[in-house]
Structure 1
Amino acid sequence: MDIGADQVGEVILLAREMTEQYTGAEEQFDGLIEGMNEDQRYDLVALCWIGRGDFEPEEWDDARRTAAEQATLSTADYLKGVDHLAEHLEAGLDAMGISPTDAEDSALEG
C-alpha cells in the first residue's frame, strides 16, 4: 500500500467527526484527501471496498485497479457519500492485517 496506516487512521477519525457533525471536520477531511497523491487515494478507496466486502484482501490489486478506472468524482466527495465509511476503513485495515486501533492511535499522536 502507498498510504500509511496513520493516514487511514486520520481519515477514520475525521469520518467519525463528520458523522457526529463536528464543525470543520468536513473541511479537514477534504483537505486531507486532496493532500494525498493519486496512489494513496486509490488505496483508500480500495481499503473501503475491502472493508465493505466488495473485494477480498487477496484481490487488492483488482480493487486498486478498479478504483483507478472508476475515479470520476473527487475521492473526498465519493468517500463522503459512503455510509459507515469509518467502519469500512477499519474493517479494510483489519482484513489487510493492520490494526485499526494502532492506526487511529498513531493518527492521534501525529
Structure 2
Amino acid sequence: MSAEFESQADSPTLDVNLDNVCRLIQLARIFHAQEAVVIPEEPGNPSDDWPTQILAAHHDDQSLNEFRSIIDDLDRNQQVEVVALLWMGRGDYDRQDWHALLSDADAEWTDYTADYLMAHPMLSDQLTEGLDILGYHCD
C-alpha cells in the first residue's frame, strides 16, 4: 500500500509518516476481520471446534503486536495525530477544526493509545476517512 498527498488549500501537514498510517489501516482491517474467541458451553470434540478458532484473535496476534509496535514507536504528537484522524473520520470534527482537534486529542493522550485505537471496530474506515478529509490517500 503506498501513500500519496493531494494538495488542498490550507491542508494541515501531518508529522506522522503517511506510510505508517496506511500500515496501521491495513493492520486494523486484518485484526478486526477476525472473529472473537468462542468457547462452547458444552464440551465437545476439540477437533470439531477448530473452524471457529482459526480466525480467533489471541493475545499473541501478530497484526495486533505489529500495530502496537508502530504506535509505540511514534512520539506523543504523532500518536495524537492518529487519534485526531480517527475522530475526524468518524465525524466528531470538521477539517477547519484540525488545530482544536489536535489540542483535544493531546489532552486525552495516554500510554494506551494503541489499545484505545484498536477498541474501535471501524478504525480502518475512520482513519481512511480522516486522511481523505485532509487530502491524503492510501493506495
TM-score, normalised to structure 2, is 0.68
Aligned length: 101
SS in structure 2 at match of 1:40:
helix
Identity of aligned residues (%): 33
Q: Give the unaligned 5+ runs of structure 1.
A: 102-110
Contact 2:32/2:121 (CA < 8 Å) preserved in 1?
A: no
Report what 2:17 is aligned to.
4
Following superposition, the deviation at residue 69 of structure 1 comes to 0.4
Contact 2:83/2:117 (CA < 8 Å) preserved in 1?
A: yes
More helix by share: 1
RMSD: 1.3
Cα distance between partner residues in 2 of 1:82 and 1:46 = 13
Equivalent residue in structure 2 for 1:13, among 26, 32, 35: 26
Could you list the structure 1 runs, at least 4 aligned residues long, displaced by more than 2 angstroms after superposition: 20-23
Q: Give the unaligned 5+ runs of structure 2.
A: 1-13, 35-54, 56-60
Report what 1:93 is aligned to.
131
Cα distance between partner residues in 1 of 2:106 and 2:64 = 23
Matches within 5 A, 1:1-110: 1-21=14-34, 23-72=61-110, 74-101=112-139
Report what 1:106 is aligned to.
none
More strand by share: 2
TM-score, normalised to structure 1, is 0.85
